[in-house]
Amino acid sequence: MIKIVFIDMSRTLIKGSGSNSGADFLGKGDTYRRMYPKYKSGEISMDELLTKTFECWRGLRVSDLEKVYGEFEFNEGVKETILKIKEKGIKTALLTNIPTHLGGLFKRELDFDFIGGTVLEVEDGIFTGKVLEFHNDKVKEAMMILERERISSCEAISIGDGKDDAEVFEKVGFGIAYCGDEFARKSAKYRISDFRELSGIIEEETAPS
């Protein structure tokens, strides 16, 4: 029985990067996208990647996050699929590196049961660009949620596209690669290119044998 779905954000829930969105809004370039290949190859850590990325959020007003959020383009079928999942009584958790201030807007619209994120320093309503807390170990975050909710790992599934998502796939019932890279595709039980396929997979996996 599936009780919870862990969902990646960048390139899975939305098109493009969520972590770089504040810098994009300020016109400060694409640090995350430029440095991501270095993380993927193991040249730098996720902490290093995010530190450099969020330095570019310096000067962004918290009050501008609604505008930043409005720039996101959700992948086809995301909203309707998450609604269907929740109607089945299945919990949803967004595993993401975006700032917690921004994550709250996703929780508000899509009613996620759980959402992680990076804690950034704010002074006088403005992001300083300093990271206060990292929560970028997706496996650790997923396991904490499962333990707290008393859900076994075999009752959880995960959908994502990257290296860190593949690590979650290995720890739960099964993984679903959404247009993923080689790490995700190799570790996944299913490989999909349309988010709406997630509903069918859940129905198939929960149907009486």
Each residue's pLDDT expressed in tens, for the chain with a length of 209 residues: 999 999 999 899 999 889 999 999 999 978 888 898 898 888 999 899 999 999 999 999 999 999 999 999 999 999 999 999 999 999 999 999 999 999 999 999 999 999 989 999 999 999 999 999 998 899 999 999 999 999 999 999 999 998 889 999 999 999 999 987 888 899 999 999 999 999 999 999 987 76
**Architecture, CATH, for domain 4-15+74-206:** 3-Layer(aba) Sandwich (3.40)
Strand stretches in the chain, DSSP E? 4-8, 91-95, 114-115, 119-123, 126-133, 156-160, 174-178, 190-192
Count of beta carbons in the 10 Å neighbourhood of residue 147: 11
pTM: 0.91
Separation of alpha carbons 94 and 50, rounded Å: 18
Contact 36, 49 (CB under 8 A): yes
| Helical (H) or strand (E) element with 103 | helix 100-110
